[in-house]
A and B are shown apart, each in its own frame.
Chain A
């Protein structure tokens, strides 16, 4: 059982720091909800978002008027927008955190998942806008909502992957009934293709900010500036979600270490409860996908926007 045994006491402070940080964050969130600060924080996030969109619009216009140098400010604003957007709550992070918390993954996989998801999200926005604008040749006002319709596919895929994860956990649980002497079977890390599939399904939901910037750049006939801005956003998002992935992977390792240190008979039954956790995680991810899909499918048409 590698995480429990192959680290010396020298690694423990790191995990303790992570645990303390998460505990403090939990208490802060709880306090914020109780005191009403949460509402204030939410309003603040929305006002920051509003501010960012103003800045992005102005930055694209500045590139048109001033050219090259202004592109750096567009890239910088886009990057910070990516960080900000990813730091706020959202479905991608919920899926990533649930996945990393309930399935066996190393840090390398956690970081790869966050980076790939952010990159796919950038690609989705670029492709969606190119296709709607170039091929369909519809007004940009409609192109924007058409491009956003890809999100339903993203949610459906997340639902499917959740179901798949749940079924693999069930298969492992069944397997243990026959050979319960091999508890290590469940501790296989997630396969890479599963990881890429998950990153792809998360990234398939285009970021509304990316779409707006691409469309605006298109109206100014500077598609390249939009694409550069979108990948700066992806870089920012990858960084912020990467931090979440780092914390989550460590949190899981820590929880497992505690569980194993306290359970006496762990070598025989550890894998079984881990499979139950993996099953829960799969079900949760499927539920997330289902609820998002349901909301996306019944979205009401906007009167003027």
Chain B
């Protein structure tokens, strides 16, 4: 029996390259697939001393989710404000273990969050709307430290993005010259491939969303 003769090496290499490409295409996008969408509007709330004490958020749920909620309420005897409030309160409870999808940082360090309050909700033109104010555990002086926040689902099942053409609002006694810049997501091929290839014991599910997160950078003079 002769040893098998293989075609010229370049041919095998080209073939391997094509296969790798296919695999890369798969790994990059297999998990990169949000199934629900939320339009976000957010505002920074400052105290008397010009420190950030809370982030107010408005969420506009997508058409499908809104319709499902509507159907759920109709099944329970009609869409009422009490029914909507009930759903919003359940959702806030569920979101607690996910840190309300809100990642606040000073430099590289995470900032603790308090209990959300002023929860409100409405169903208008087929879209479900929810508002809440999320306090920071400690007030932050954005003039002293690099302060930023992002609103995202770590699993990337839900894609939360700020409404385009709407600035980040500043409420309260912000220093004149304070600015909030919205940075669009910029995932890299390596990072997404890594997030998808984590081992069995680690969960890639919890690292993907961050790669597709929008960040708000706050700076004060």
Contact = CB atoms under 8 A, between A and B. Distances in A.
Interface string A40-71: 10110010011001100110010000000000
A296 to B, nearest CB: 10
Interface string A192-208: 00000000000000001
Interface in B63-93: 63-65, 67-72, 75, 90-91
Contacts of B177: none
A91 B30 contact: yes
B155 interface: yes
B118 interface: no
Contact of A272 (B4, B15, B19): B4
B203 A298 contact: yes
A277 B15 contact: yes
B37 to A, nearest CB: 5
A141 B69 contact: yes
Contacts of B71: 139-140, 219
A57 B64 contact: yes
A259 to B, nearest CB: 4
B212 A303 contact: no
Contact of A97 (B2, B4, B22, B126): B22
Given A46-B159, A97-B22, A288-B26, A255 B69 contact: no
Main secondary structure of the interface of A (DSSP, over half): helix
Nearest to B16: A280
Interface stretch (A5-13, A113-121, A261-269): A261-269
A39 B29 contact: no
A94 B21 CA distance: 9
Nearest to A260: B7
Interface in B16-30: 17-19, 21-23, 25-30
Contacts, number: 170
Contacts of B23: 94, 284, 288
A94 B2 contact: no
B29 A98 contact: no
A38 B189 contact: yes
A43 B184 contact: yes
A242 to B, nearest CB: 17
Contact of B126 (A61, A91, A208, A305): A61
Given A39-B189, A144-B68, A269-B2, A91 B26 contact: yes
A195 to B, nearest CB: 19
A279 interface: no
Interface residues of A, number: 67
B19 A98 contact: yes
A265 B5 CA distance: 8
Quick one: which of B7, B126, B186 has the most chain A CB within 10 A? Answer: B7
A36 interface: yes
A140 B126 contact: no
Contacts of A251: 18
B105 to A, nearest CB: 21
A300 B98 CA distance: 12
B95 interface: yes
A36 B26 contact: no
Quick one: which of B35, B97, B184, B205 has the most chain A CB within 10 A? Answer: B35
B112 interface: no
A90 B206 CA distance: 20
Contacts of A278: none
Interface string B27-71: 111111111110000000000000000000000001111011111
A26 interface: yes
B187 interface: yes
A128 interface: no
Contact of A98 (B22, B31, B192): B22
A295 interface: yes
Nearest to B197: A291
21 contacts: A39-B185, A42-B32, A43-B185, A43-B186, A46-B212, A57-B64, A58-B63, A101-B15, A139-B68, A141-B72, A177-B1, A215-B68, A219-B68, A258-B7, A260-B7, A268-B2, A269-B5, A273-B7, A288-B26, A291-B27, A298-B205
